[in-house]
Structure 1
Amino acid sequence: MGEHLSPAPAVAACAEAERIEELEPEPEPEEPLPMAPEDHWKVLFDQFDPGNTGYISTGKFRSLLESHGSELDPHKREVLLALADSHSDGHICYQDFVNLMSNKRSNSFRQAILQGNRRLCSKALLEEKGLSLSQRLIRHVAYETLPREIDRKWYYDSYTCCPPPWFMIAITLLEIAFFLYNGVALDQFVLQVTHPHYLKNALVYHPQLRAQAWRYLTYIFMHAGIEHLGLNVVLQLLVGVPLEMVHGAARIGFVYVAGVVAGSLAVSVADMTAPVVGSSGGVYALVSAHLANIVMNWSGMECQFKLLRMAVALICMSMEFGRAVWLRFHPSAYPPCPHPSFVAHLGGVAVGITLGVVVLRNYEQRLQDQSLWWIFVAMYAVFVLFAVFWNIFAYGLLDLRLPPPP
């Protein structure tokens, strides 16, 4: 009866566990994973759409922008507010909201740009004071290439110089390097094309060596002389670099390479006995696209002295084209092979006023959403296929006497 009873085993185990738990440090709370940008906008959208309808009213959209507007550049905020005022049904769907806030290239983005352009009442970029040198450069590029003020403001706020316009700069440096190397090897820099060994270079397109497919592209690294290289380099840097800063390396690189390939294929079809050298196909694609874009948006383009500068550009292009025509029919330095053809210039122009114009007219918009883009892509593909078959069969069927290989 008087014996001391020991605690039950379960009670003892529980007490022991409590003592151990007191000794162990409490685990630190796990940090939440960082949210993706779309998740961030989803959280904001859901705050104004508690019923998960997928839509918010334009009034709530304005409230959201006013409360979170500090996360956006001021000019982007103007565009989005203009879009909020433009919806006749009074609602904005979630996908449009995410595309706009995430700066995605989409039709809804273009809609915002167009609506904002009609409703924008704030001062123009040219009227803003106190800009740094880099900001003035970006503003200058915007006015050189974009016809709408709201596009210019959006680009001005969005451009970060990351990545820089590397494509046009890299192509230009490679062309200069190959020219200097070839000049030292031939001991001739002016009218290199007249040197008897000029065509022996493995980069030149030659009709007898047309089966070597790389020559349809690598001929851009060979130039007829320093006068030929000089004008192409100037046009590439003055026109190509600003266009790449605005539209990106992928789009401008595509137009440039498409012009280069179209140039060599055009020569193989229309001037079958002539070789090809120089980057004029790509250069003329970019310059003709830029000039056509200016003409088509004449009232909106506010670049200084645009008429005079267009005249100067056309004169330079005409002089270069005239030089190429003269050289083609000048007595050859390596008969019976003629001097390089001028038809590549025309191939570049054809690409510029078709594919190039569509690219330049659709800043920050998905090209695959444009029916005109697919029409011109199909035309280009048909031309390439036609030229390939022409090179395979036509030379033999026409019994054409080609110059001997170099």
Structure 2
Amino acid sequence: MPGQGETTVSVPLTPTRSDLYWRRIFNKYDRDADGKISYAELKEIIESREYEHDLPDNVVEKIMKLADRDNSGYLDFNEFVEMMHNPDFKAVFGHFVARYVHSIVPHRGPVDTTGMGPGFLYVPKSLRDGTYEEEYSCWPPAICMILISLVEIVMFCYDAAHGSTTAVGPLAKIFIYNPHKRHEAWRFITYMFVHVGVVHLLVNLLVQLFLGVPLEMVHRWWRVTLVYLAGVAAGSLATSLTDPRVHLAGASGGVYALIAAHIATIIMNWAEMEFAIIQLLVFLLLAAVDIGTAVYDRYWGAGVTNIGYVAHLAGAIAGLLVGIGVLRNLEKRKWEKRLWWAAVILYCCLMLAGILANIFWVDHFPDTKL
């Protein structure tokens, strides 16, 4: 135990960045703001629903035994910091404590540093890495993409039962995007439920579940739904303008929106993600290869294909812009705020232009007589 003189010398007049970081965590524990953490406060936090699966049941007793050096029944700030740096403590609790500490401070911003005036909490990059991954949660359950996939499967099976798996069944005729029936506005969205063949359906199902469910676990269902539907709508609007006589089926616009949404969330949460550059390159490569293949098959490949690559590209653009606009950003920076406004304005302008063109550019489209 250091003496009084040593203690006086070691306390800086201005709090360091590390002090501010640990003070933020300490204040999060200290529910009644009395400057110390009681057994009851620790127990209340640990047994709360959000953290009940992160720490073992006997964690309170072990924390108090290891950290309460003066046996006062409370942890003051110095004891708390020592506890978090104690190698014996880390050996006992392993990853549980690290995960718990990161979980309680995912949102960073201006804080009051206990009487020293407003300040900005700086967290070093080494402490921010992986924070995004720790935001994954199974509650509420990620069921939106699952439900959409089930609807696609049911509709495909219904048409198959009526003798068609090539988007000419009774349901497909109602929901497919048909350029001769553009006045039926629902077709600009509902074409996502129609698929041409089993392979087409399975590929879209696998990709949208593989990419959509993880997004829902971090960003919640309604944000992912907005991104997905934005990609679907952008795909049909863009296809109607560039390929006005093409029928459109499949969820590729929404699927590419999900791919681009992952890119958007990597950009907006770069410092909070582990291996961000690798994830970004993987998604960019995936999108580039698929779109490139679709373009090649459409114009230079053997046989006749009608792959709507414009819907892929438009869906990706919509997913990127809407993803930046609606998906969670764990730590907002000035340039990210400017990027947010630019993305929202650009998306609104593109969508408005697409809608107006579809309404008023009558000569560009085929007659509405089938």
TM range (shorter): 0.5 to 0.7
Partner of 2:353: 386
Percent pairwise identity: 30
- Which of 206, 217, 221 aligns to 2:193? It is 221
Alignment of 1:70-219 (within 5 A): 70=43, 71-72=45-46, 73=51, 74=97, 75-77=99-101, 90-91=114-115, 115-116=122-123, 118=125, 120=127, 148-153=129-134, 155=135, 159=137, 161-185=138-162, 187-189=163-165, 192-193=166-167, 201-219=173-191
Separation in structure 1 between the aligned mates of residue 354 and residue 144 of structure 2, nearest angstrom: 27
**Offset at 1:278?**
0.5
Residues 65 and 225 of structure 1: CA distance in aligned 2, closer, same or farther (over 3 Å): farther
| Equivalent residues of 1:258, 1:282 under 8 A apart | yes
- Which of 294, 299, 311 aligns to 1:321? It is 294
Alignment of 1:329-368 (within 5 A): 339=306, 341-360=308-327, 362-363=329-330
Residues 226 and 238 of structure 1: CA distance in aligned 2, closer, same or farther (over 3 Å): same
Please, which moves more after superposition, 259-268 or 284-293? 284-293
Separation in structure 1 between the aligned mates of residue 280 and residue 342 of structure 2, nearest angstrom: 31
Separation in structure 2 between the aligned mates of residue 79 and residue 65 of structure 1, nearest angstrom: 20
| Equivalent residues of 2:262, 2:283 under 8 A apart | no
**Offset at 1:304?**
12
Amino acid at match of 2:200: H
Separation in structure 2 between the aligned mates of residue 389 and residue 283 of structure 1, nearest angstrom: 25
Amino acid at match of 1:325: R
| Equivalent residues of 1:82, 1:119 under 8 A apart | no
- Which of 280, 303, 320 aligns to 2:252? It is 280
Separation in structure 2 between the aligned mates of residue 265 and residue 82 of structure 1, nearest angstrom: 38
| Equivalent residues of 2:107, 2:330 under 8 A apart | no
Larger radius of gyration: 1
Please, which moves more after superposition, 341-350 or 252-261? 341-350
The DSSP-based 3-state class of the residue aligned with 2:174 is coil
Separation in structure 2 between the aligned mates of residue 150 and residue 68 of structure 1, nearest angstrom: 24
Alignment of 1:248-259 (within 5 A): 248-259=220-231
Q: Which runs of 5+ in 1 are unaligned?
A: 1-40, 49-59, 97-107, 121-146, 333-338
Q: In the comparison of the two structures, how many residue pairs are matched?
A: 287
Q: Which runs of 5+ in 2 are unaligned?
A: 1-27, 52-96
Separation in structure 1 between the aligned mates of residue 105 and residue 309 of structure 2, nearest angstrom: 52
Please, which moves more after superposition, 295-304 or 227-236? 295-304
Amino acid at match of 1:180: C
Partner of 1:144: none
| Equivalent residues of 1:355, 1:373 under 8 A apart | no
Separation in structure 2 between the aligned mates of residue 374 and residue 224 of structure 1, nearest angstrom: 38
Partner of 1:372: 339
Partner of 2:15: none
Amino acid at match of 1:342: Y
The DSSP-based 3-state class of the residue aligned with 1:201 is helix
**Offset at 1:355?**
2.0
The DSSP-based 3-state class of the residue aligned with 1:202 is helix
Partner of 1:261: 233
Separation in structure 2 between the aligned mates of residue 288 and residue 256 of structure 1, nearest angstrom: 10
| Equivalent residues of 1:260, 1:281 under 8 A apart | yes
Separation in structure 2 between the aligned mates of residue 350 and residue 258 of structure 1, nearest angstrom: 10
TM-score for both structures, normalised by structure 1: 0.57
Separation in structure 2 between the aligned mates of residue 81 and residue 188 of structure 1, nearest angstrom: 54
Amino acid at match of 2:196: A
Please, which moves more after superposition, 200-209 or 64-73? 64-73
The DSSP-based 3-state class of the residue aligned with 1:150 is coil
The DSSP-based 3-state class of the residue aligned with 2:175 is coil
Partner of 1:235: 207
- Which of 265, 274, 290 aligns to 1:301? It is 274
| Equivalent residues of 2:107, 2:331 under 8 A apart | no
Separation in structure 2 between the aligned mates of residue 290 and residue 83 of structure 1, nearest angstrom: 20
Residues 342 and 285 of structure 1: CA distance in aligned 2, closer, same or farther (over 3 Å): same
Partner of 2:62: none
The DSSP-based 3-state class of the residue aligned with 1:376 is helix
1:358-394 superposed Cα distances (whole Å, 9 cap, x missing partner)? 54561488xxx94533432232222222222212221
**Offset at 1:318?**
3.9
Separation in structure 2 between the aligned mates of residue 80 and residue 360 of structure 1, nearest angstrom: 20
**Offset at 1:263?**
0.8
Partner of 1:127: none
Amino acid at match of 1:395: V
Residues 203 and 320 of structure 1: CA distance in aligned 2, closer, same or farther (over 3 Å): farther
